[in-house]
Amino acid sequence: MPLKRNFSLMLLLVVWSGFSRYADAQQPYYLSELVVIALQENYQLQIVRNRERMAENLNTPGNAGMLPTVGVSANHNSDVMTTQSTLYTGMERVGTNALSTRTGAMAELNWTVFDGFSMFAHRDRLGLLAAISRSETRFYIEQTVSDLAHSYHLLVRELLLLETYQSISEVSALRVALERQKREIGSGNTLQFNQALLDFHTDSLRVLQQQQRVADQQYQINKILNRPSELLPLPVDTALVARGLQPVEQLLEMATRHNPYLEVARLEEMVSEAGSRIAMGGRYPHVDLFSNYQYNHQTSETGIIESATNRGAQFGIRIRFNLYDGGRQNTVVNNAAITRESAALHTTDLQVTLKNDLELLRLRHINLTRQLNLLLESRNAAEQTLSIAEEQFRTGAISGFEFRHTQLNILRLQQQLIDIQFALVSIETDIDRICGVLTENIINQSN
């Protein structure tokens, strides 16, 4: 008997001392504060921003082929040759290890002044690609904030469950103490005491397991934030409160205007249109202007000329026109038109998908809200039932088994309530992400 009593006390001390150490290492944060940290420290976001900068760097007139190219070149060659020549007059000329040199330099300019308007389409395409990169950055930011918000709300859920399990464990500890007292005065029995002790151990084990789930969720948040594992975030929020939804028409309007994925689809449709213009440019003549300035100097120890120097400029115009290439140009144009059509279909399909997703989430939100209201009404009655059951158990009006049954009903009710509250908040987070306003709403909620 003393061994079981000591074991129970040790288990209770382990549970509460573990929670005490867990609580001492916490740092309280609002979700908006964690969002700011993530936007500054997340490595994947930094990589996406670098890609955006690269796309911006490519968006120049030079990369679109609108500007001339200017280059310089220089060369110097030396030859050492042994030659023997016989002239028609019979004279022989012999050169042994004769040195010949050639030195030259040239500056040249080339400029495509007309290519069937393809250069303007290229410039538009580069600008659209830069805009796509910005939209993809915003999309990744929204996705990262969504992951963080989900993890934050899940941490709140795990903490609420931990609080519930601790309350159940406290009641179970009280039941063990009461059964011990009953047995000591002769009104109880060993079976009831052992059952109470077993239930207390089960509840204590549930608390320890829940503490681990809380820690796992904190480490998951730190992974998103790229923070040291010893800095465990603790949410300031102590409840999961759903704010409600806006009218479906307003949600659809926001999604149509701000959804980053839909914005990328529209930009890709415009990119495909620019690709069609680029392909059409192959049907027009190409006009190039060119000019260069050359300098050449050569020397020779054999031959008629001992040294020579020439310098001068060259300039002109080149016109190229594709008369026939086996139909390859037509194939390029036709495929570009098909790509443009596919992009438009993708945009339409995405709009329908977003509308359906919003409607489905809205219906789930309505149904869960009704379930929440029913559970809130049941909770008041359940709390009164637990108080009555606890008092009747003290007086011996009900058995430990009946009290445990009431206790487990309260536990299931509280778990359902927390899960539905978490589901409602998660749905609202998903809707904000689809509408492209998640980050803005989280930041505004802190102001």
In a domain, 130, yes or no: yes
Rounded mean pLDDT, 166-189: 84
User: What is the C-alpha to C-alpha distance for residues 94 and 83, in angstroms, rounded to an integer?
Assistant: 6
User: What is the C-alpha to C-alpha distance for residues 337 and 88, in angstroms, rounded to an integer?
Assistant: 71
Domain of residue 370, residue span: 2-68+116-284+326-445
Total residue length of the chain: 447
In a domain, 340, yes or no: yes
In a domain, 78, yes or no: no
- The yes-or-no verdict on residue 89 having pLDDT over 80 is no
User: What is the C-alpha to C-alpha distance for residues 81 and 263, in angstroms, rounded to an integer?
Assistant: 70
In a domain, 7, yes or no: yes
In degrees rounded to 5, what are phi and psi of residue 236?
Answer: -70, -35
Say which CATH number the domain at 256 has: 1.20.1600.10
In a domain, 270, yes or no: yes
In a domain, 301, yes or no: no
User: What is the C-alpha to C-alpha distance for residues 51 and 133, in angstroms, rounded to an integer?
Assistant: 7
State how many domains the chain has.
Answer: 1
* Residue labelled with tokens 């060993």: 190
Secondary structure of residue 311 in the 3-state scheme: strand
Q: What does the DSSP 8-state code read for residue 61?
A: T
In a domain, 134, yes or no: yes
Rounded mean pLDDT, 395-419: 84
User: What is the C-alpha to C-alpha distance for residues 239 and 153, in angstroms, rounded to an integer?
Assistant: 9
Whole-number pLDDT of residue 24? 44
Whole-number pLDDT of residue 303? 67
pLDDT range class, residue 71, cuts 50, 70, 90: very high
pLDDT tens-digit map of 365-388:
999 999 999 998 888 888 788 888
Rounded mean pLDDT, 2-10: 41
Whole-number pLDDT of residue 90? 72
Rounded mean pLDDT, 42-47: 84
Q: How many CB atoms lie within 10 A of CB 180?
A: 18
pLDDT tens-digit map of 115-151:
988 999 999 999 999 999 998 888 899 999 999 999 9
In a domain, 344, yes or no: yes
Dihedral sign from CA coordinates of 132, 136, 137, 138: positive
pLDDT range class, residue 359, cuts 50, 70, 90: very high
